[in-house]
Amino acid sequence: MKDSPEYLQKRAFYDSLLTIYGRKPVLEALEDLSLPVHKLHLATSNRRDQLIARMEQLASERQIEVAHWDRKGLSRISKNARQDQGVALDLALPHYGTADRFLAEEQASYELLALDGITNPQNLGMIIRSACAGGIDAILLPRKGCAQIDPLVIKASTGTLFKTRILRCDSLAPTLEKFRSAGAEVCGLSSHAEETLSSVSGNKPTIFVLGNETRGVGESVARQCTRLVRIPMQNNVESLNVAVTAALISFRHQL
Amino acid sequence: MKDSPEYLQKRAFYDSLLTIYGRKPVLEALEDLSLPVHKLHLATSNRRDQLIARMEQLASERQIEVAHWDRKGLSRISKNARQDQGVALDLALPHYGTADRFLAEEQASYELLALDGITNPQNLGMIIRSACAGGIDAILLPRKGCAQIDPLVIKASTGTLFKTRILRCDSLAPTLEKFRSAGAEVCGLSSHAEETLSSVSGNKPTIFVLGNETRGVGESVARQCTRLVRIPMQNNVESLNVAVTAALISFRHQL
């Protein structure tokens, strides 16, 4: 029953899981009692060394379920066989979901940030922190081309990740197309744009697309933008840090 | 003649000099043709190795004066005998000066950022970049308690350091007292303040004081503030990155 309430609830729970991997990140997450951990995954091929023993001990103390998999099974979970080191961990983030679910559910107006090619974890964490403080409704974070949420990002977000709605999608351009079809204004930030940020009325659902620091918004993503806007800058400065741009957008109604 | 035009002009030139030190920073600065280098200082005690030879060669190619000093003379120039490695370099920054000179000269209204305990070079560079783009008139940077301008900061400022007026002083609190006596509003940023940033009219000369990320504005500096203000934040976020705060202040009239 694909649309039974039980199925949908279960589905929503699994969408809220963030899987991290690698021995150091997983151990750090297990040691951080503020992190909502769901399940520890271990490959049966792991040599049972001190680190693995410590993980099992922490999982036992925290009453976290431990699942054992063969090497192939584990890499299906980590989705990164080359870097998982036989270890993965599911975090159950309360405000973590998918763009598709958001589109299916959301009716009222909203303001989102969409990230295109933000590869620096420090910047990603700072964007989340600024957007959360400024009251952005959610951040659209594609799996392709962006830094993924890992302990570095969580740290740089100074814990705000757990208060921020994060919407996952595979690739940004087709997802923006769906939002556009649903009536959203899609504003790409570009220092070459003629219009400025203040020209965006915010009268309808709006997505601001932030591009890579060096290359800006990518071509296929730019094609999905309904308009391009820039932040007016003085002294011939050419660009701002992307987390600063995120903050100026997020706070612009409140200063 | 302490107030002859020649003396004042010479004085202004020497105030605009920024001295960096250490073999790697100095070599990098010499290799960067965009940096306005004034003079290379070498200790006569230096072993004449490849690095020193390369510096001398670059100085010769760029027609930069080279001065030789005994160890003690060099440390008087670098002001950091422990870390200068026998090498110092004067950069002649066009917009680099002293708070005292600014106070003596400036008549019209202005908006400054003053930095108290900003120790992270990355943050200092980002603050300069955001303030420059947002049109802040100058940044008040004390020698005590803050990161100093070095090649890391220059890099993080993405070159905007050379377009930004930087006012040096020894210690921040007594300098703020002088500005206050001259009629400036001194606003300390504090997340515990009752008033918000939007309550600052900007009708008179205003200095915004940004404190250390962890400890905030220090006690002696807070005593020099005519008021404390906060940036209103949503989702119970407690603080923003200091460079983001600098950007929100700098851009608040333009968004």
Task: Name the closest residue on chain A to residue B199, using Cα atoms.
Answer: A255
CATH topology for the B96-251 domain: Alpha/beta knot (3.40.1280)
Interval B68-107: pLDDT, tens: 999 999 999 998 888 899 999 999 887 888 999 999 986 6
Contacts of B241 in chain A (CB under 8 A): 126, 129-130, 243
Q: What percent of chain A has pLDDT over 70?
A: 98
Q: Angle at the Cα of A185 (from A241 to A209), degrees rounded to 5?
A: 20
Is B126–A251 a contact, with Cβ atoms under 8 angstroms apart? no
Return residue ranges of chain B for CATH 3.40.1280.10: 96-251
Contact call for residues A43 and A71 (beta carbons, < 8 A): yes
pLDDT bracket for residue B2 (50, 70, 90): low
CB atoms A234 and B133 under 8 Å:
yes
Residues within 8 A of A (CB atoms), B 7-66 only: none
The topology under which CATH files domain A97-251 is Alpha/beta knot (3.40.1280)
Output phi, psi for A9, to 5 deg: -65, -45
Q: Report d(CA A178, CA B148) in Å as an integer.
A: 49
DSSP state of A133: H
Delimiting residues of CATH 3.30.1330.30 domain(s) in chain B: 17-92
Structure tokens at A95: 């405000």
Location of each CATH 3.40.1280.10 domain in chain A: 97-251
Which residue type is seen at A111? E
Q: Are B223 and B118 in contact (CB under 8 A)?
A: no
Q: Which of B163, B197, B248 is opposite residue A247, by nearest beta carbon?
A: B248
Contacts of B192 (CB under 8 A, 6+ apart): B228, B230
Specify the DSSP element, H or E, that contains B91: strand B87-92
Sheet containing A195-196: order of strands: A96-98, A166-169, A138-142, A111-115, A206-210, A185-189, A227-230, A195-196
What SS3 class is residue A123? Answer: helix
Q: What is the pLDDT of residues B111-162, one digit of tens each?
A: 999 999 999 999 999 999 999 999 999 999 999 999 988 777 888 898 898 8
Q: Which of A135, A137, A241, A123 is nearest to A189 (CA)?
A: A241
Q: How confident is the model over A81-133, as pLDDT tens digits?
A: 888 999 999 998 878 889 999 999 866 899 999 999 999 999 999 999 999 99
Query: Which residues contact residue B201 at a Cβ distance below 8 angstroms, ignoring those fewer than 6 apart?
Result: none
Residue B37, token pair as written in the block: 């280098």
Instruction: Tell how far CA A45 is from the center of its chain.
Output: 31
Q: Within 13 A of A23's CA, how many CA atoms are on the CB side?
A: 12
- For residue B80, the distance in angstroms to the closest alpha carbon of chain A comes to 31
Supply A108's token pair. 């009222």
Q: Note the ipTM here.
A: 0.83
A242 CB-near residues (< 8 Å, 6+ apart): A118, A123, A127, A210, A211, A213
Task: Please tell me the CATH code under which domain A17-92 is placed.
Answer: 3.30.1330.30
Q: How far is A147 from chain B (nearest CA, A)?
A: 20
Report residue B111: phi and psi, to 5°. Answer: -130, 120
Contact assessment for residue B193 and residue B226, using Cβ atoms and an 8 Å cutoff:
no
Asked if B46 and B20 count as a contact pair (C-beta separation under 8 A), the reply is no
Amino acid sitting at position A109: S
Residue A240 pLDDT class (50, 70, 90 cuts): very high
Residue A17 has pLDDT above 70, yes or no: yes
**Tens of pLDDT, residues B27-54:** 988 998 878 899 999 999 998 899 999 9
Apex A65 CA angle, A64 and A69, nearest 5: 135
